[in-house]
C-alpha cells in the first residue's frame, strides 16, 4: 500500500506541471492582460472597477505617473500617447519584462513552496485572499455534499428495492426534474418565495451570518449560520443528488442479481439482513468512492452564480473577478490549489475502497 501511495504522489508532479503549462500557454494567447487593463483605465475605456474592496486603484495611481506624447507605436492596444517608459514600468511591475518561459519557470518554482505572491490589483498576498474566501466555499460545498448524499443514498436504495414500482417511477420523475432545473433559477425562485421577494420573509438574503453575529452566544451563532446557509445550500443541492441517486440504485440492482445474494436468501436470512449485511458493502463502493470528488466539484458547479445571487464572498466569486480583471496570480493560484486538491482527493477515493472492502489490494495494481 505504501508503494502504491508513493507512486501516486510522484505522478502528481508531472500532472500538476502539465495542467499549469497548458493553462499558462492558453493565457499567453488570450486577449487582454493586466497591462492592457491599466491602459484602458488611463484612456477612460474601463467599464468600471470590479475589483471590490481590498487594494488601491492602480489605474488612478498610474494616471498620475503617465506622461504624454510618447511613441505612437506600441504592442498594447490603446497605448498611443503614453510615455513608452511608463509602459515599460508597467510591464516590469507585472513581470512581463521577462520572456514567457522564464515567467513560467519562476511561477512553478514559487508554487512548489506555495509562494503565490501578491494580487496584481489588491495589495494583499494571494494566499491570504484565498484563506479569507475559503470558509464560505467550504461551507457551501460541505453542506451541499452532505445533504445530497443524505437524500440520494436512502432514496437510491428504496428505488432499487422497489424497482419498477409506482414509487420508483414518480421519484425518478422528481429527481430528473430537479436535475434539469438550473441551480441559479431555483435560487431566484427561493428568494422570491422565502427571502422577501414577493411572498414570505423567512430567510435572509445576504451573507453567511448576521451583522451582530460576534455578539451572539454559541447556540445562537450556530442557528444564525444555519439560517443564512439554508437557501444557498438548497439551491445548489436541487440537482446534485440525481447522479448519486441513480448510481446507488443501479449499483444495488447489480448486486442484488448476483449469486451470493440468492445463496444468502436460501440460508434463511431476512431481506434486511441480505440488503444491509451483504449487498450494502459491495454496492456502496462506487458511491462512497465518489464522495470526495463530489465535494470538490461543489466548488466549481454553480458556486459562482449562487455566491453572486446570495452575496456570498467565496472562491467562486473571487476567481470570476480575478479572470475579468486579469489578476493572474489569483487565477493561477486557484487553479494550482484545486488541481492539487483534486489529485489528492482522487487518491483518497481509491484508498476508501480498501476501507470498505479489504479484499482490494493496490499493491498489485499498476498505476
d(CA 359, CA 357): 5
Please name which of 44, 270, 287, 306 lies closest in space to residue 153, comparing C-alpha atoms: 287
Mean pLDDT of 352-357: 68
Percent of the chain with pLDDT over 90: 7
Predicted local distance difference test score (pLDDT) of residue 79:
57
Predicted local distance difference test score (pLDDT) of residue 53:
42
- The residue ranking higher by pLDDT, 161 or 284, is 161
State how far Cα 3 lies from the chain centre. Answer: 30
d(CA 110, CA 107): 5
Where does the pLDDT of residue 73 fall: very low under 50, low under 70, confident under 90, or very high at 90 and above?
very low
d(CA 135, CA 143): 12
Least confident piece of the model among 120-124, 301-305, 341-345: 301-305
106: left (phi over 0), alpha (psi -120 to 50) or beta: alpha
Q: Is the dihedral of CA 136, 137, 140, 142 positive or negative?
A: negative
d(CA 207, CA 244): 29
113 by Cβ neighbours in 10 Å (0-12 / 13-18 / 19+) ranks as exposed
Q: Is the dihedral of CA 317, 175, 201, 144 positive or negative?
A: negative
Domain boundaries, the chain: 33-97, 127-364
- Spatial neighbors of 227 by CB under 8 A, at least 6 apart, are 203, 204
DSSP 32-56: --HHHHHHHHHTT------S-SSS-
> Tens digit of pLDDT for each residue in 217-242?
889 888 888 888 888 888 888 877 78
- Spatial neighbors of 338 by CB under 8 A, at least 6 apart, are 296, 299, 300
* Residue written as grid cell 503565490: 116
Mean pLDDT of 316-335: 84
The CATH number of the domain covering residues in 127-364: 1.10.3720.10
All three cell numbers of 227 = 439560517
| Whether residue 131 has pLDDT greater than 50 | yes
Predicted local distance difference test score (pLDDT) of residue 82:
62
| Three-class DSSP category at 82 | strand
Amino acid at each position: 500500500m505504501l508503494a502504491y501511495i508513493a507512486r501516486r504522489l510522484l505522478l502528481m508532479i508531472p500532472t500538476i506541471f502539465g495542467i499549469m503549462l497548458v493553462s499558462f500557454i492558453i493565457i499567453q494567447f488570450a486577449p487582454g492582460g493586466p497591462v492592457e487593463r491599466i491602459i484602458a483605465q488611463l484612456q477612460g475605456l474601463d467599464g468600471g472597477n470590479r475589483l471590490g474592496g481590498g487594494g488601491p486603484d492602480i489605474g488612478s495611481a498610474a494616471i498620475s505617473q503617465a506622461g504624454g506624447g510618447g511613441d505612437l507605436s506600441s504592442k498594447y492596444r490603446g497605448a498611443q500617447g503614453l510615455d513608452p517608459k511608463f509602459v515599460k514600468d508597467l510591464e516590469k511591475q507585472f513581470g512581463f519584462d521577462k520572456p514567457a518561459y522564464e515567467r513560467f519557470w519562476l511561477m512553478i518554482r514559487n508554487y512548489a513552496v506555495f509562494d503565490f505572491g501578491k494580487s496584481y490589483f489588491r495589495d494583499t498576498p494571494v494566499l491570504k485572499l484565498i484563506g479569507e474566501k475559503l470558509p464560505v466555499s467550504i461551507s457551501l460545498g460541505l453542506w451541499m455534499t452532505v445533504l445530497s448524499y443524505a437524500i440520494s443514498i436512502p432514496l437510491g436504495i428504496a428505488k432499487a428495492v422497489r424497482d419498477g414500482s409506482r414509487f420508483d417511477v414518480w421519484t425518478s420523475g422528481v429527481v430528473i426534474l430537479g436535475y434539469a432545473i438550473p441551480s441559479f433559477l431555483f435560487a431566484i425562485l427561493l428568494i422570491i418565495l422565502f427571502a422577501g421577494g414577493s411572498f414570505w420573509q423567512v430567510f435572509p438574503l445576504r451573507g453567511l451570518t448576521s451583522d451582530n453575529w460576534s455578539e451572539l452566544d454559541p447556540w445562537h451563532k450556530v442557528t444564525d449560520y444555519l439560517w443564512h446557509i439554508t437557501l444557498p445550500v438548497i439551491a445548489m443541492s436541487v440537482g446534485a443528488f440525481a447522479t448519486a441517486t441513480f448510481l446507488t440504485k443501479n449499483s444495488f440492482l447489480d448486486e442484488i442479481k448476483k449469486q451470493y445474494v440468492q445463496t444468502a436468501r436460501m440460508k434463511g436470512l431476512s431481506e434486511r439482513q441480505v440488503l444491509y449485511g451483504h449487498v450494502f458493502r459491495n454496492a456502496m463502493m462506487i458511491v462512497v468512492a465518489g464522495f470526495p470528488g463530489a465535494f470538490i466539484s461543489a466548488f466549481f458547479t454553480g458556486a459562482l452564480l449562487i455566491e453572486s445571487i446570495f452575496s456570498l464572498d467565496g472562491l467562486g466569486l473571487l476567481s470570476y473577478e480575478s479572470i475579468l480583471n486579469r489578476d493572474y496570480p489569483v487565477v493561477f493560484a486557484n487553479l494550482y490549489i484545486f488541481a492539487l486538491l483534486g489529485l489528492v482527493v482522487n487518491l483518497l477515493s481509491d484508498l476508501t475502497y480498501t476501507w470498505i472492502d479489504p479484499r482490494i489490494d493496490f499493491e498489485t495494481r499498476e498505476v
